[in-house]
Structure formats: C-alpha cells, structure tokens
C-alpha cells in the first residue's frame, strides 16, 4: 500500500512538473500579446464601423456612382489579399467594398460560435451601415465562397452577380476535429511560423511579396 502511495505521489509530481513546463513553453511562444482595441487600430489604414456583433474593419473606395462590388476574403488572410484586385476595380470605375471578417485582421473577435449566421449578419449589417442598397457583384475567395453563397441565398434580390474563387466546401464539421480546440491553440502557439510559411506556399512568386509574412504576423 505504501509503495502505491509513493508511486501515485511521484506520478502527480511528474504530471505537475510537465504541466508547468508546458505552460512556460506556451507563455514564451504565444504571440497573442496585445488587445485589439482603439489603440491597436489607431494608425491602421481603412475605416471602422461598430456593428451588432462588434467592430468591423473595412475599406470602401471608388466613384459614388459606380456599380458596387464586394470582395470577401478567405479563412486566414484578411482583406489585404484583395489589394491588387481592389485597386484595379476602383480604376475601372467600380465602387468597391472589402472588409475583415470577424476573427481576422482588425475586426473584432466576438466570443460567439463562428458559423454561417454570424458572417451573414456581419455582411448584412455592414451594407446597411454603409447605406448600400444593391450590389452589382460579390466575390468570395476560399472560405469566403460559402460566406458569399450563404449571404446571397438569404438575400437573392440584393446581388446581381456572384463570383466564387476556389471556394471551400465544408466536408467535416467541428465534431470531426481529431484534437480539442485547446490542444490546437497550444500547438499553434508553439509553432506560429507554420501558418506564416504556409501562406507563402500559396503564392506562385513569393519573392515578389517580401512583406507578406510580416503583414500576416500582425493579426497573430
């Protein structure tokens, strides 16, 4: 009995030590050190609007009389992924809107379930807040594809044209995740460079975008 007691105490000490070490590694590696507030957004380009679910970062440019085009980014990279497309459309005379979806870029990270109604509501509230009554075309990239498709499905009379660029199809739900959210967060904190290097593999000519990694790291 005494042997079992000593064994259990030893195991408890080992487990406690392992947890402390793991926490220290996490604290040192974690890049999420700052609060996303007015101070963090002070010198950020673009505009901000407070919607029902939080603050949204957006940019609206082009002739007031131009046809409205909305650009919706994907799962990971914020609205700057549309930089060249945005500029070209404005030059062509369109009135162009792009924004950071909740959880990305300089938009808020509301403590809610991130599912279709949240993103649909964000876009709807943004258009209402900017007094946009009709959309000539809306484009969704990757994860932005289902966001756009869901939005148009619920607002069929608002949009004339839909453009889907490499749209994501949700084959697996949260219940199919192999590991818990906490473990995924821990793993990400220990190797943040994985997300950054992963972005560069999406570019055909990464050398042409020397500031891409640093730009991406900001939201991390």
**What would the pLDDT profile of 72-114 be if each residue is shown by its tens digit?**
999 989 999 999 999 999 999 999 999 999 999 999 999 999 9
Q: Which residues, given as ranges, of the chain have pLDDT below 70? A: 29, 170-179
Report residue 213 as tokens: 């990694």
160, 137 contact by CB (below 8 A): yes
pLDDT of residue 219: 83
Which segments of the chain does DSSP mark as H helices, in order?
A: 2-29, 38-41, 83-91, 116-129, 144-154, 181-190, 193-200, 212-217
CB contact set of 185 (below 8 Å; sequence gap of 6+): none
pTM, whole model, 2 decimals?
0.84
Over residues 52-71, the pLDDT tens digits come to 999 999 999 999 999 999 99
Confirm if 178 and 191 have CB atoms less than 8 A apart: no
How high is the pLDDT of residue 68? 98
Q: What is the pLDDT of residue 218?
A: 85
What is the pLDDT at residue 161?
98
* DSSP letters spanning 126-168: HHHHTT---EEEEEEETTHHHHHHHHHHH-TTTEEEEEEES--
The single residue listed with the structure tokens 């199919």 is 176
pLDDT number for residue 176: 56
């Amino acid at each position: 009995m005494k042997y079992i007691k000593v064994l259990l105490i030893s195991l408890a000490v080992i487990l406690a030590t392992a947890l402390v070490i793991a926490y220290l590694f996490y604290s040192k590696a974690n890049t999420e050190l700052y609060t996303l507030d007015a101070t963090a957004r002070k010198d950020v380009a673009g505009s901000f609007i407070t919607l029902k679910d939080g603050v949204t970062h957006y940019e609206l440019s082009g002739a007031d009389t131009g046809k409205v085009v909305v650009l919706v980014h994907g799962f990971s990279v914020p609205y700057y992924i549309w930089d060249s497309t945005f500029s070209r459309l404005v030059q062509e005379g369109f009135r162009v809107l792009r924004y950071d979806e909740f959880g990305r870029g300089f938009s808020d990270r509301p403590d809610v379930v991130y599912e279709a109604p949240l993103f649909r509501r964000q876009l709807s509230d943004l258009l209402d807040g900017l007094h946009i009554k009709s959309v000539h075309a809306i484009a969704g990239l990757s994860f932005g594809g289902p966001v756009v498709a869901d939005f148009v499905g619920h607002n069929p009379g608002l949009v004339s044209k839909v453009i889907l660029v490499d749209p994501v199809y949700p084959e697996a739900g949260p219940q199919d995740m192999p590991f818990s959210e906490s473990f995924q967060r821990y793993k990400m904190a220990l190797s943040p460079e994985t997300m950054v290097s992963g972005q560069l593999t999406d570019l055909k000519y990464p050398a042409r975008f020397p500031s891409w990694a640093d730009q991406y790291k900001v939201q991390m």
